[in-house]
Chains A and B, each alone.
Chain A
């Protein structure tokens, strides 16, 4: 089906974009940190905006990293019973867990959007005229992405699990 193919291409295009963004932000963070050390030690001037920018980069890297972890199914779990259920039931459990995870992430989207809206109204900026709300909008965005990923993976698990048992 050409339809599902273009859907897939779009997905892998997004995956790539996410990775490029993640890598660039890590490099940017190290560079900014180095600049700060230089300024502080050579001309004894600390640059205030670097610190707050770097801290926001931590938020971005954490959420983007978590999103990639969702894609690769590498979130930290306490894996005690998964090895002890029969494979047929295991698919079912995993699918249900992922759908539940999707629900939690999606429930967090709306409060995150409202949080961002508050700062949008306040109109503060971070540095270089980057508005603060833009820096914060990674929270609803990644909750949305993770929710979507959990949802699709959950559906896939349930579907292939059913097929496996038949």
Chain B
């Protein structure tokens, strides 16, 4: 296609053309130039109807939107407050844990900051946490649980890279915990330093909070128990999750009424449709990339300059951070995986390990100035100028970069549970 062929889509994307149009247009263009019938693009789009595990995506997304619309976040915060609130920096650690659980269930779609921010920010201020600390904490926590099952980006990576999703779910656990652990240490330290309020532990409150959220606590076991117990496949676990959430939130807690259901389903389907249509037109892109031998060209280019896999990983991380910040999570996943995967494998990277590196980068990229999406969601949610959030996120980004280094250069962390 040459220079014109790659600059044209770039220009289209930069003027704000919907991404699926950009990809479809460049697909049509390259098919035309190669003299292939344009129905090839439709054949690829039709892959949406025969890709296994894909049905899990709309169903898990629905479960996430249902949870976000219920009072589950309030109950979760109350319970963890009762259990951990007495620790120095306890509330900050709670914010980290709750955000991580919530992001895993709702799939890093910006819902975490919107649903939890309004609860946690006033609570943090009440306990006299410095404002800058709280803002940075909640902004960077917006994508924190990304590596935990059943997060939507993990499934998407599995679909695009054609890797067993069960393995990816297992791989994310230790890297995800590492990030929470390091951020918790920082929160302890800041909590001690700022002499924040430390409410005393009350067994009565803990019991009350436990009883209140008793129906939601089994949720992770519904999701994971089914899959690893060997009873259900990933897409079936999604169905069980949605049914469980429906019964609990509509039947037991009555947070969601029947007439709320239609707008929730439409909202989650718009999100899913927006992502899957990009995926659908990108199936064709993968083929174009391969026939144009673009991964091979990149590989030759890299090979002639970078020999050691260590240096390669450094460049890979820089590239992916920029991609996460500029492109956004889902487009980066769909568009970059077919490019990066063959190159990384040539440098001896395990595809599951690459997945963890990629997802961690996109997670951090989402909070990275100038364009990380978390910064903008936070800016709207907390009514603060974006510049203030840039400054507030810096310490958290540095800590997350330390975890990224560990995840990148210590493959065992990701691969220890993989058979």
Contact = CB atoms under 8 A, between A and B. Distances in A.
Contacts of B57: 58
In the A-B complex, the 10 residue pairs with the closest CB atoms: A65-B273, A33-B239, A75-B18, A62-B276, A111-B39, A59-B49, A66-B273, A66-B277, A65-B269, A111-B38
Given A68-B270, A81-B16, A135-B49, A37 B42 contact: no
B331 interface: yes
A80 interface: yes
Interface stretch (B72-80, B208-216, B229-237): B229-237
B257 interface: no
A69 B272 CA distance: 10
Contact of B43 (A93, A96, A115): A115
Given A36-B236, A65-B274, 6 more contacts: A34-B243, A68-B273, A74-B274, A76-B19, A82-B16, A139-B46
A65 B20 CA distance: 13
Nearest to B246: A30
A65 B276 contact: yes
Contact of B12 (A26, A41, A64, A100): A100
A93 B16 contact: yes
Nearest to B26: A104
A108 B24 contact: yes
B14 interface: yes
Interface string A2-25: 000000000000000001001100
Contacts of B327: 78
Nearest to B21: A101
Interface residues of A, number: 57
A11 to B, nearest CB: 17
Contacts of B330: 76
Nearest to B331: A76
Given A23-B266, A68-B269, A62 B277 contact: yes
B269 A75 contact: no
A63 interface: yes
A55 B270 contact: no
Interface string B244-281: 00000000000000000110011001111111111010
B326 A80 contact: yes
A78 B21 contact: no
A59 B55 CA distance: 9
Contacts of A110: 38
B17 A97 contact: yes
15 contacts: A23-B266, A30-B62, A33-B235, A33-B238, A54-B55, A55-B51, A58-B57, A61-B269, A65-B274, A76-B274, A76-B331, A80-B371, A112-B45, A115-B39, A139-B46
Binding site secondary structure of chain A: helix
Interface in B1-54: 12-21, 24-25, 28, 37-39, 41-43, 45-46, 48-52, 54
Interface string A79-104: 11110000000000110110011001
A114 B42 CA distance: 10
A76 B16 contact: no
Contacts of A135: 49
A55 B49 contact: yes
B328 A136 contact: no
Nearest to B59: A30
B231 A41 contact: yes
A78 B265 CA distance: 25
Interface residues of B, number: 62
Contacts of A77: 13, 16-19
B381 to A, nearest CB: 18
Considering residues A22, A104, A114, which has the most beta carbons from chain B within 10 angstroms of its beta carbon? A104
A108 B262 contact: no
Contacts of A158: none
A121 to B, nearest CB: 14
B242 interface: yes
Contacts of B59: 29-30, 33
A61 B58 contact: yes
Contacts of A108: 24, 28, 38, 41-42
A81 B50 contact: no
A78 B270 contact: no
B361 to A, nearest CB: 17
A76 B328 contact: yes
B147 interface: no
A162 to B, nearest CB: 19
B392 interface: no
Nearest to A24: B265
B359 interface: no
B240 interface: yes
B398 to A, nearest CB: 25
B269 A22 contact: yes
B376 to A, nearest CB: 10
Given A30-B59, A33-B235, A68-B266, A78 B331 contact: yes
